[in-house]
Structure 1
Amino acid sequence: MLKGEKLGAAIEAARIKKGISKAEMARHFGVKPPSVQGWVKYGRISKDMLPRVIRYFANEVGADHWGIEPGDPYAPDNLVQLRPKLSAAEGMVVIDRLSVQAGMGAGKLAEHFPDVIDNLRVSKDWLRRNATFTSMKNLGLVTGLGDSMEPTFSDGDALLVDRGVRDVKVDAVYVLSLNDELYIKRVQRRPDGAWLMISDNPSYEPYVIENGDRDHFQVEGRVVFAWNGRKL
């Protein structure tokens, strides 16, 4: 495992390859910009933060970039980079599976800085045929938990979410955050401007989001496909 300035240079090279600024890195990891500067210049990064940084650059660089070897104490067993790294071959796109879990019933605590825990390579043509989205770069996989969206989704389904959608413009299924909890619900707009948050499972009552309550809700994305073979 690289250390010191060599580790810093590796972080900086991965940052440049991903095409993000140091300020964007700081926001993603919830640290101040001087901390990121210390990472890239001197390799000064905590043992708890380093695995998160390595996972963050999973699609840009592999284990050899960091000098990671099997059994390296700095690399947790589930580190994505220790598995063969997927690359986006011609006509393919790599979609990150995030550590995000959203409740289909009770809400799940939101992760403000989710990690990439896996990735999936799919055909761009297949995506265009089976899902509607703003951009392939905005797609990510999250896990739905609970039974309130049965029979459309089942507990534990991997859901493809378009994170480029940040408002309810059409009636569809969305990932919503409220009080630091995430929900997956069908949202229907009413003529009076309110939203109706609907569960596909009839055992759950609809919830009305009045105009005055809209500021407390945040649209985190639109669910465009469930990895159970059902097209939305």
Structure 2
Amino acid sequence: MIKQPETFAEGPRARLLELSQERGASLASLSELLGRNASYLQQFIRKGSPRKLEEGDRRMLAQFFGVAEEELGGSDPTQENSYAQTRRRGDSGEWVDVPRLDIGASAGPGALPESEKAFDAFRFSRRWLAEQGLEGAQLSAITVEGDSMEPLLRDGDEILIDRRPQPFRDGVHVVRLGDTLMVKRVAQAGAGRFALLSQNLAYPPVEVAAEEVAIIGRVVWKGGRV
């Protein structure tokens, strides 16, 4: 009898695949969120390598999707006391943890990102996100660097970007131009071209071909000191 090839898309692997499809987040983008190579989660799901997600990766993915870690292969919840189980379920149901990435998007002439690994998270009410039209959004937080977007965005502000693939519309976006990450107001400038606009009039507009710029995500919220 011929043995059928073993499938790894079951248990935590199947749940991760299901969550990524529900959120509209590619496995490659989720791998990059973890600071891994783009094929990391694809290999985990399809080839069973690694056999189990590392604790830090599992925790970050659970926070991103707003689910309990055991759904992605964490410890058996029956080993925990009932209070901890209730607390965890309440947190995952009512709150969404948005990863804070250790990079800055330049609001000046441009800066090279050093890392895209999360070092912390913001916690938002799931209800509040829905009220803002952000239910199901693929969110991450980064820091603004420079003054070209003042007074709208100031140096040191933290912004939420929605990285979901979606049709382009004019607005404030984080973009990658070559190796440079920037936050600019982006507008269409004719067929196949975009204009990168600054709020600070000391910075002139920059016009680029569509293939020269990658739109990483739309800026949907900002926070900063008064």
TM-score by length of 1: 0.62
- CA distance 1:25–1:118, change in 2 (3 Å): same
Match of 1:223 among 216, 219, 222: 219
Identity %: 28
**8 A contact 1:198–1:206 mirrored in 2:** yes
Task: Give the aligned residue type for 2:104.
Answer: Q
Q: Structure 2: how far apart are the matches of 1:27 and 1:224? A: 20
Q: Provide the secondary structure at the position in 2 that maps to 1:39.
A: coil
Against the structure 1 CA distance between its residues 201 and 25, is the aligned structure 2 distance closer, same or farther, given a 3 Å change threshold? closer
The answer to whether 1:187 aligns with 2:198 is no
Cα distance in 2 for partners of 1:159, 1:114 equals: 15
Asked if the contact 1:163–1:221 (Cα under 8 Å) also holds between the matched residues in 2, the reply is: yes
In structure 1, the residue matched to 2:136 is 136
How many positions carry a matched residue from both structures? Answer: 186
1:126 partner letter: W
CA-based RMSD: 3.9
Match of 1:53 among 38, 51, 57: 57
User: For structure 2, which runs of at least 5 residues remain unmatched after alignment?
Assistant: 1-9, 21-25, 76-87
Secondary structure of 1:97's partner?
A: strand
CA positional deviation for 1:115: 2.1
Structure 1 unaligned spans of 5+: 1-11, 67-84
TM-score normalised to structure 2 length: 0.64
CA contact (8 A) 1:87 1:94 kept: no
Q: Deviations over 1:8-62 (max 9, x none)?
A: xxxx9765554479x937982216676874531xx7x9xxxx6863664462539
For the pair 1:120 / 2:122, whether they are aligned, the reply is yes
Counterpart Cα distance in 2 of 1:105 and 1:37: 44
Contact 1:97 1:120 in 2 (8 A): yes
Q: By how many angstroms is 1:180 displaced?
A: 2.1
Structure 2 residue aligned with 1:39: 50
Contact 2:163–2:217 (CA under 8 A) maintained in structure 1 = yes
SS at match of 1:98: strand
**Structure 1 segment 139-158 matched on structure 2, within 5 A:** 139-158=139-158
